[in-house]
Amino acid sequence: MLGNDKKSNQKGLKIIIVGCGKVGSTLTEELSAEGHDVSVIDQNAGAVQTLSDAYDVMGYAGNGASLKLLQEAGIDTADLIIAVTGSDELNLLCCTVAKRESNCAAIARVRTPEYSEEADYLRERLGLALIVNPDQEAANEITRVLTLPTALEIDTFMHAQAELIKIKIPENNVMDGKTIATIAREHSFHMLICGVERDGIAHIPSGAFVLHSGDQISFIGTRKHTKEFLESVGFDTKSVKDTMIVGGGRSAMYLAKNLMNSGIQVKIIEKDLEKCRKLSENFPNAVIIQGDGTDESVLMESGLKEAESFIPLTGIDEENVMLTLHAKHVSKAKVITKINRNSFRDVIDSMDLGSVIYPRYITSEVIVAYVRAMRDSKKYKSNVLTLYHLFNAQAEAVEFRVSQNSKIIGKKLMDLKIKENTLIALIFHRGKVIIPGGSSVIEANDRVIVVTANLGLDHIEDILA
């Protein structure tokens, strides 16, 4: 056992995280900060000690599938086990052993395409709460952005009936120098600007907030209305027709499948011959080029100058960043940069890297939403349905289902005392998406999206001051 002695936090859940890599570290940070009693397991004693010291969690060095070690970590009283090691088989085995020993819920990270295709079967047969695939989730997010390439990020709610879109205001744009209230009057679409990042600082704005070029803004609405708004303020809303991907690993395979299903032509550069053969077999309609995608001459010969979008997926952050910067220098392609590590965020944010995708945060969002719903359901019988981090995790967008005994039911929003830096951004009522005003009323079973800088909301009542 490693780390400091730590008493169980009765307000939170007892959670065991197996795997202290990128995702495990992110989950440890977020879940311990939200008041859960977290224990971590990994065969790397140094990684366990690092997390134990940094976040005051219990640490155990060893095999997470060992019944003896799981018992030592307290699996018999645990509410949840999350297995996010680098091995799919180990993750599934950890969850299986834990489920046989206790009544805890179990979440496994599974990345292998063959297993992912059988995710529903595995989840049902093994009794898992969730199977999370970070490569697939990242591919889904990249696909959404390429269908609306002027967006930096696109997050979906309410089974994709609503979208939260982030854009950067360019020089001389019609929004520059205007208040949000003025923009709402001049562009009267059913959408709401609910977040602004300026100079690295996130704001939950009021109608009096003045926008400037260089601001990154997030706004929410239906796909139809968000596209209409973008067009009205001078943004292109056409999907890209083709993309060039560097790297032929798992991420590229998931992404290629998504893009080709969306009618986007795919070109993949991969230097490993065997991977090229496998890609050609799986995607006969794609262009597969065997070559070093980090070689400038290979990129130019492959048509980088003419590409409408460019996505480096080499697995090495530094290479992805350099390839993105090179693509922006020699072409007009929409670029998306995948970053696996969390270090040097300020430096990365200062670069013009287009849309930046962090798979570890995409994965943690899915799991943290489940954890909040799990804790919430025990106390309030309402659920956190979806969660997204905004502006480098300075804010969150959270989707709630409102229970029948909620304190906010039947009251006009103008009569609710809502915390500062918190905004009710959207209401989904009986199949209708509503951009709320002061006279809007929330009813039982409505779904409500809240954008807030007050992190860690567990249930809808947490918005009240």
Residues 248, 310, single domain; the answer is yes
Contact 71, 55 (CB under 8 A): no
Q: Structure tokens of 449?
A: 């999206």
For the chain, first and last CA: distance in Å? 41
Give the pLDDT of residue 197.
94
303 with 390, same domain?
no
In a domain, 320, yes or no: yes
The answer to whether residues 400 and 335 belong to one domain is no
**Total count of domains within the chain:** 3
Domain boundary among 132, 151, 178: 132
Contacts by 172-177, CB closer than 8 A, 24 or more apart: 172/213, 173/213, 173/233, 173/234, 174/233, 174/234, 175/211, 175/217, 175/233, 176/211, 176/212, 176/213, 177/210, 177/211, 177/212
Q: What is the pLDDT of residue 9?
A: 36
Cα–Cα distance for residue pair 187/435, rounded to 1 Å = 14
Last residue of a domain, one of 132, 152, 183: 132
Quote the pLDDT of residue 292.
95
pLDDT at 382: 42
What pLDDT, on a 0 to 100 scale, did the predictor assign at position 295?
Answer: 95
Q: Return the number of other C-beta atoms located less than 10 Å from residue 262's C-beta.
A: 13
Domain CATH number, residue 449: 3.30.70.1450
Is residue 448 located within the same domain as residue 423? Answer: yes
Q: Give residue for tokens 């943290």.
A: 368
Picking from 132, 152, 187, the residue at the C-terminal end of a domain is 132
Q: What is the model's pLDDT at position 56? A: 85
pLDDT of res. 376: 62
24 and 126 fall within a common domain: yes
Residue 350 lies in a domain: yes
CB burial string 205-214: b at 16+ within 10 A, e below = beeebebeee
Based on the fold, state whether residues 320 and 382 are members of the same structural domain: no
Range of the domain at 329: 242-357
Assigned domain for 219 exists: no
Residue 392 lies in a domain: yes
d(Cα 155, Cα 163) in Å, to the nearest integer?
A: 6
Residue 34 is predicted with a pLDDT of 87
Burial per residue of 439-464, b for 16 or more beta-carbon CB atoms within 10 angstroms, e otherwise:
eebbeeebbbbbbbbbeebbbbebbe
Average pLDDT, the chain: 90
Judge whether 111 and 134 are in contact, CB under 8 Å. Answer: yes
Mark whether 452 and 343 lie in a shared domain. no
Report the predicted TM-score, pTM, of the whole model to 2 decimal places.
Answer: 0.82
Give me the pLDDT at residue 377, please: 57
* Residue 426 forms part of a structural domain: yes
Q: What is the dihedral of CA 447, 231, 311, 273, to 10 degrees?
A: 100
Residue 454 lies in a domain: yes
Q: Are 307 and 335 part of one and the same domain?
A: yes
> In one letter, which amino acid is 87?
S
C-alpha radius of gyration, the chain, whole number: 23
Do 296 and 392 have their domain in common? no
Residue 337 domain-assigned (yes or no): yes
Residues 338 and 320 in one domain: yes
User: Which CATH number characterizes residue 34's domain?
Assistant: 3.40.50.720
| Contact of 79 with 14, CB cutoff 8 Å | yes
Q: Do 411 and 340 lie in a common domain?
A: no
Residue 278 in domain:
yes
Residues of the chain with pLDDT under 70: 1-11, 188, 342-346, 376-382
Q: Identify whether residues 346 and 368 lie together within a single domain.
A: no
